[in-house]
Amino acid sequence: MKLQATDLHPLMQEYLHELHVLRQLSPHTLKAYGMDLSDLQNFALEDSIDLLKVSNGHVRRWAGRLHSKGKSSRSIARALSAWRGWYDWLTEKDARRDARAGKVTSNLVANPVDDVKAPKRLKSLPKALSVEQALSLVNQAVKEAEEKKDLESIRDAAIIDLLYSSGLRLSELLGIDVMQSKDRQNESAGWLDWDAAEVTVLGKGGKRRSVPVGKPAMRSLNIWRQIRGASSFAEQSNALFLSATGKRLSPRTVQARLRTLAMRAGLPTHVHPHMMRHSFASHVLQSSQDLRAVQEMLGHASIASTQIYTSLDFQHLAQAYDKAHPRAKAGKG
């Protein structure tokens, strides 16, 4: 039977009292710590182990039991923190040699929770648009560019088309020049090869990579290049994407323009530039199943960074199965 907080070992109760009085922890936190210490005491009772003689091996085994009971990595980490805090308090108590009458000392040599780590937290999956949502967003941008025919709408269509076509980071996109400058003082961070339909960018760690650009994106980029070249401030900067004042476009402007465009496209989620990169990676992987190629196009140093998109791919397949398979929900109440 699980112990109640009032059944806790006297030293555990004393520890919680000090946390309340000296550290002024909230009632919610104290309750959580009490439950964690109760788990520790229960494990010791089940294994007939004296709480004051617990070893590192015992703690590892009990952490494993928490995991087998379905506890999350976050919950296990909190429990280990509570256990470690209590044993630290006990060792400090012994070090002070408090000899007041009626006080129990633990005679602990070391903290048994030291070097025991919780299971690694699962990385949260990056948010990606569905193929339909991504196409809806790009089509909205192209439609507005054709209808409005103003500099900003045409530029935005080229930006969004390129983000989705080549999976660039925002910093990489904004570093692109119209033409490659070989001047050492003003060397281009990135540039477009208009004939080869390829973009070269400077990624993380100062590593350059070249990524193909699809035909629709090249069409949007060529339209933007013509508008840009005819503008009064075309000669002010070699940057491909310029603001209305002729300066290299800022990240904040792109983020804001993309957010409002997504709202006009009727997308039910907040869209940001990196989501376009996630969408590119996920959709290419769904179609090609070529993890190495996606790794190269994204500029990931490690394949492990790219493998997270296999989870997105499986998530997409699972959702499709749930919607389409006649027995996907069989037996669900």
Task: Write out the catalytic residue numbers.
Answer: 169, 204, 274, 277, 300, 309
The two structure tokens encoding residue 122? 């699962």
Residue type, 291: L
- Could you tell me the two tokens for 61? 């085994």
User: What does the alpha-carbon distance between residue 32 and residue 19 come to, in Å, rounded to a whole number?
Assistant: 12
φ/ψ of residue 278, rounded to 5: -60, -40
CA dist 313 and 310 (Å) reads 5
Q: Could you tell me the two tokens for 159?
A: 């930006």
For every residue of 21-62, DSSP letters joined together read HTS---HHHHHHHHHHHHHHHHHHHHTT--GGG--HHHHHHH
E strand or H helix at 198: strand 198-202
105, 83, 101: which is closest to 93 by C-alpha?
105
Residue 224 and residue 157: Cα distance in Å, rounded? 8
Rg (CA), the chain: 29
Q: How many Å separate Cα 67 from the centre of its chain?
A: 23
**Structural tokens at position 149:** 């025919």
Q: How many CB atoms lie within 10 A of CB 99?
A: 7
d(C-alpha 333, C-alpha 325), whole Å: 17
**Whole-angstrom Cα distance, residue 77 to residue 84?**
10
